Chains A and B, each alone.
Chain A
């Protein structure tokens, strides 16, 4: 058979798809399922392994990865099409869809200029105060509205400051990195603070409900996790300032010019004011009514109002939302549930506990370590939401308190500080072209240690006090 350069190129580009299929085929046809695991559970784990390879290497578009998850579950996973479809859409997927739409709706109002003015008034022109202010504001806002929206609004503010900073032709790499990382890491540490801070939080809440593991209300979640956010904010600022010492101690010219620029925005229009009121209503709904109506339905209600009052057009929403991601989350959650139903999750959980028990004899510590390590490592390779969607069912089958282990898993999935792919905020600042991949490593390991210590502190001291 003659293989042309075009064919060879296609094979090279799709090699990870072929590798995933070959591994899947070998496991399916030639490796018998373990005696302690049923056939369907084994097949679901094969599908998950193939999917992890595809998500990690992205040889095919994300929506295609979602589609293969659906049909494999029906063809080899022992599920009926209706079962897969039934788990496909739920409140977590509604929430992810709604929060992506809300981000488009709010960012398009131009409220970031008001935000910039507010921050500058708070911080003044000293660099360390600006870095600390960026970290704190990003963390607090992100805990309610998610890191992608906050970073999209904060990045222009930082880049404008950078643009207006004159340093007589000298390099400002320290200042640039400090400002950008304060947004990215601030938004990332904040995203665990409330259920609406990220899709992964809602996915875990959905698993708790689906698996009958108990539940946490919005306020209960905040009570348990927010102290950790508050501990991390000042330490994150300190780490960033020490890792990337800014070349300039004061940004007076830049701050003045930024103030002038944002002052041109004039008074708040009714549209801006009304969009803020609507968002406050959505936030109130999340806090006070989500136990009854779910976070997703409330987010979609907010979008309905934004569309009805003409604050955003459907064209903008459909263009600004990556529907492939929504499809993928639906498919990942459906396979997560199948993993639980077929016993695959319990088998994996039991296996990892038995394997590691030699190293860590205390079962409670072992469960916590498995939960944190699995989520922390995977989230640096995949996205944090995908990590929780896949790891969640395993963690909830480890035994022990599923609420605490689930929270530990969700929190540690936000430890994606090492790479630009893990968290949306990190990807966004990386796309500016002003920070490089090694910068994430330089600060990331310090952030990871700090976060693990903070989690241990909260888990060992705070949680026993309030539960």
Chain B
């Protein structure tokens, strides 16, 4: 397949119209995820949603749990998920201390609105801040999928978890947005941005996103093209060249690598533990992905570095 990167005329890339969603689970574990979510949203100047997905009680005892929650409200004890969202808002304020509009926003656990199977926190005076706080209960992938579909999010940012290997398949196959999984992310670490380039249609968008991130964060950029044989076809070569040209046109220096071998194993070995990987989503048909996996799914399963899969 001939590379389609930037050959067709298309609408100009407008980062301001993007919507990003960060999934948080607890005050204890979600700080790096939230921090990176806020950073990436600011890089793209995107609006930022934060969603807490908690476990849903068995339907058998649902009414007992709801009754208890109503009673807890009378004692001013709020839902644990709302506590996490309140913390998330305070963290976002700290992370954007120069944002005066954001600083004005106050969290009030009474100002919540139940709609479409979720609880949305109403934030008065949130003019221009484009922050959304949402509480959901149920299975993680199902709830994230619903939230993404409801609000039209472009990117979902998820922390790496212990059951990542189990979740990787569902996350990549069923979430209808780009996905950023922050595995072992250390905010203090200096990462190199590693862009995996091939002739797939999603590569062009991942180059655009990579260039924006690298440009704003000043991270060194590497592109990696892996062929199963020693011969690199015109599609692969062309895609790598066009990626370099795109970065060059934005004054970003790029190191290019061409390696031969099994693509996933090569990606994983090359990424090591100091890269921030960006790759395009698979275009394989859903049944094949379900049965045999895909390059992004296998890469996510096997690597331990932050990985952004652009759809």
Same assembly:
yes
A residues bordering B, Cβ < 8 Å?
2-5, 7-9, 12-13, 58, 61-62, 100, 103-104, 107-108, 110, 112, 148-149, 151-153, 155-156, 159-160, 163, 320-322, 324-325, 382-383, 386, 421, 424, 427-428, 430-434
Instruction: State in angstroms the CA–CA spacing of A160 and B68 once bound together.
Output: 14
Q: Which of B61, B70, B77, B174 contacts A424 (CB 8 A)?
A: B61
Q: Helix, strand, loop or mixed for chain A's interface?
A: helix
A104 and B72 contacting across the interface, CB-CB below 8 Å: no
Residue B186, interface by CB 8 Å: no
What is the CB-to-nearest-CB distance from B176 to chain A, in angstroms, rounded to a whole number?
A: 7
B68 and A431 contacting across the interface, CB-CB below 8 Å: yes
A5 and B286 contacting across the interface, CB-CB below 8 Å: yes
Instruction: State in angstroms the CA–CA spacing of A427 and B71 once bound together.
Output: 16
A160 and B174 contacting across the interface, CB-CB below 8 Å: no
What is the CB-to-nearest-CB distance from A321 to chain B, in angstroms, rounded to a whole number?
A: 6
Q: Can you report 11 residue pairs joining A to B where beta carbons are below 8 Å apart? A: A5-B286, A61-B59, A62-B59, A100-B63, A148-B61, A148-B63, A159-B72, A160-B75, A421-B58, A428-B68, A431-B65
B80 and A104 contacting across the interface, CB-CB below 8 Å: no
Residue B263, interface by CB 8 Å: no
User: Which partner residue on chain B sits nearest A329 by CB separation?
Assistant: B60
What is the CB-to-nearest-CB distance from B216 to chain A, in angstroms, rounded to a whole number?
A: 32
Residues in B whose Cβ lies below 8 Å from that of A58: 58-59
Q: Check A151/B72 contact, CB under 8 A, given A4-B286, A322-B62.
A: no
B67 and A107 contacting across the interface, CB-CB below 8 Å: yes
A148 and B77 contacting across the interface, CB-CB below 8 Å: no
Give the B interface residue count (CB, 8 A): 33
Instruction: State in angstroms the CA–CA spacing of A427 and B65 once bound together.
Output: 7
Residue B120, interface by CB 8 Å: no
Interchain residue pairs A-B with the least CB separation, the first 9: A433-B80, A322-B63, A148-B64, A427-B61, A156-B75, A152-B68, A383-B60, A424-B64, A62-B59
What is the CB-to-nearest-CB distance from B242 to chain A, in angstroms, rounded to a whole number?
A: 28
User: Which partner residue on chain A sits nearest B66 by CB separation?
Assistant: A320
Residues in B whose Cβ lies below 8 Å from that of A104: 67
B77 and A156 contacting across the interface, CB-CB below 8 Å: yes
Residue B142, interface by CB 8 Å: yes
What is the CB-to-nearest-CB distance from B167 to chain A, in angstroms, rounded to a whole number?
A: 13
Residues in B whose Cβ lies below 8 Å from that of A112: 71
Q: Given A155-B72, A427-B57, 15 more contacts at CB 8 Å?
A: A2-B285, A5-B173, A9-B173, A58-B59, A108-B70, A148-B64, A149-B67, A152-B68, A155-B71, A325-B63, A424-B60, A428-B65, A428-B68, A431-B55, A431-B69
Within 8 A of A (CB), among B128-151: 142, 145
What is the CB-to-nearest-CB distance from A196 to chain B, in angstroms, rounded to a whole number?
A: 16
Residue B287, interface by CB 8 Å: yes
